[in-house]
Structure 1
Amino acid sequence: MAFAVSILRLAISTAVFPIFLLHFLGLWDWICKKLFPHFMVQFSKSYNKEMAAKKQELFGNLHEFAGSSGKLALMEVGCGTGANFKFYPPGCRITCIDPNPNFEQFLIESIAESRHLQFERFVVASGEDMHQIADNSMDVVVCTLVLCSVQNQEKVIQEVHRVLRPGGAFYFLEHVAAEPSTWNFFWQQVLRPSWFLMFDGCDLTKESWKPLEKANFSKLKLQHLQAPLSWKIVRPHILGYAMK
């Protein structure tokens, strides 16, 4: 099995050799950061269409975590193009964080279409270092399709825990590694190196439920599912929320 994975990886890497060459020359990261938001605009439309029911289910009780002011202070890590905005309840005060500044122009468009929300600010930062956000300042933190591409999941989750107020909640929706010994997992392994470069650091084989289970949350509600997506390779998902 390992031999087959290696041979197929080599074949696919050869097919996308220009990307590997640009990466070797130190140029691909800049190019990808420029192009990736344009891809995500289209991908997010398709993903939202196929996952609308799951997102509505996941975010259905967000309002229950509103603070004493009655307004929900919500921070989205890896906000991207703002694809989740339409699922948030009216009156939310939104803080957006993303390490890629090229998402801002698309984020502004989503904000303009989301009059039911109150936009606070866009912070260019990685999930591992959100020092601009004060301790215990957020009612809710959200990340969707983010933990697959961060360098240190444990550090991101620690930062999320830090900025959440006591009793606040961390909502997540992530594609994850498939069950071992399945064909889906086989192809995830085959595609992993090329996918990682083409999709801005996305790792198909992340077991993102493990750091969540080990984190210092008082309550964790986590569900494994096969998402109703056209792309079979990313159908294995987890969703849920954790309370501080």
Structure 2
Amino acid sequence: MPGASVLLLRACLALLAMPIYLLSVLGIWGPFCKKVFFPYFLEKIGTIHEGKAKKYKQELFRNLPDFSSSSGQLKLLEIGTGCGTNFQFYPPGCKVTCTDINPGFQQSLLRSMKKNQHIQYEDFLVAAGEDLHQVPSGSMDVVVCTLVLCSVRSLNDTLREVLRVLRPGGAFYFLEHVAANPASWMYFWQQVYYPTWKLIFDGCCLTRAIQKDLELASFSELKVQHMSIPLPWMPIEPHIIGYGVK
């Protein structure tokens, strides 16, 4: 349970964000957030995050071609494609299926597609990570998910869907912000920000220990690296990066 100081600071933060809470109660904030605010915010903050994470992603995605099928073709599904910031890292000729629960990203996604003509775009599916029924079982060589597992409704259901759509020997690549060390000041502030942050940023949870769920999933091999990506005034510095093999 959060301590008294956390609860007090949460209340102060909620007071400052009262207009957003009121809009949420009136049913206005949710649609506005999904269609306008969050796509705009993610595109802007994504540019900053991408600058800091680019070297890590280059290293992470370096071995993507190793998971190509016997025909040499790489079929890749991205969960929560967002603005398409990962397209630049995919190998030439890669066949990409994009999914996102929020159709509000389509305009910025189209801009990214035009910039990255080296890959083939198969489809865009409006779908949650927990329900990828439009994607056949065992049909993908690789599944990619970056800065998405913080906001899915069920992390376990999402990982089950990942394993379902992957072929045997396929790989799941991830880069996610996670809960800080519980003994740290960062974790304290993550707890303070948690309720208001989740409301404003479309369900993003600051205190998920995602690595634990990955360890419990049925991957035959799992490689996880912990790292820090500091962003100004944002309590999402601790990250994990890696991949799991089905």
Are 1:81 and 2:83 an aligned pair? yes
Aligned-residue offset at 1:69: 2.1
Task: Specify the code of the residue in structure 2 equivalent to 1:51.
Answer: A
Does structure 1 conserve the Cα–Cα contact (< 8 Å) formed by 2:230 and 2:236?
no
**Corresponding residue for 1:33?**
34
- Structure 1 stretch displaced more, 25-34 or 131-140: 25-34
Distance in 1, Cα, partners of 2:230 & 2:184:
18
Task: Specify the code of the residue in structure 1 equivalent to 2:245.
Answer: M
**With structure 2 as the length reference, what TM-score do the two structures score?**
0.97
- Gaps of at least 5 residues in structure 1 are none
**Corresponding residue for 2:18?**
17
For residues 17-166 of structure 1, the aligned pairs below 5 Å read: 17-34=18-35, 35-166=37-168
Deviation readout 1:132-184 (Å, 9 max, x if unpaired): 00000000000000000011000000000000000000000000000002100
**Corresponding residue for 2:224?**
222
| Count of equivalent residues | 244
Distance in 1, Cα, partners of 2:58 & 2:235:
23
Distance in 1, Cα, partners of 2:231 & 2:200:
19
Give the alignment partner of residue 201 of structure 1, picking from 203, 215, 239: 203
**Corresponding residue for 2:183?**
181
Distance 1:90 1:150, change over 3 A: same
Distance in 2, Cα, partners of 1:228 & 1:31:
28
Deviation readout 1:66-97 (Å, 9 max, x if unpaired): 11221210000000010111111111100000
**With structure 1 as the length reference, what TM-score do the two structures score?**
0.97
SS for the counterpart of 1:233 is: coil
Does structure 1 conserve the Cα–Cα contact (< 8 Å) formed by 2:144 and 2:172?
yes
Distance in 2, Cα, partners of 1:57 & 1:229:
21
Distance 1:230 1:71, change over 3 A: farther
Does structure 2 conserve the Cα–Cα contact (< 8 Å) formed by 1:134 and 1:163?
yes
Distance in 1, Cα, partners of 2:141 & 2:134:
16
Task: Specify the code of the residue in structure 1 equivalent to 2:108.
Answer: F
SS for the counterpart of 1:47 is: helix
Distance 1:7 1:228, change over 3 A: closer
Does structure 1 conserve the Cα–Cα contact (< 8 Å) formed by 2:198 and 2:205?
yes
Distance in 2, Cα, partners of 1:121 & 1:46:
28
Distance in 1, Cα, partners of 2:32 & 2:24:
10
Distance in 2, Cα, partners of 1:179 & 1:25:
36
- Gaps of at least 5 residues in structure 2 are none
Aligned-residue offset at 1:232: 5.3
Does structure 1 conserve the Cα–Cα contact (< 8 Å) formed by 2:179 and 2:209?
yes
Deviation readout 1:199-226 (Å, 9 max, x if unpaired): 1100100111111100011111111122
Distance in 1, Cα, partners of 2:187 & 2:79:
27
Cα-Cα RMSD = 1.1
Does structure 2 conserve the Cα–Cα contact (< 8 Å) formed by 1:51 and 1:229?
no
Task: Specify the code of the residue in structure 2 equivalent to 1:209.
Answer: Q
Distance in 1, Cα, partners of 2:141 & 2:34:
30
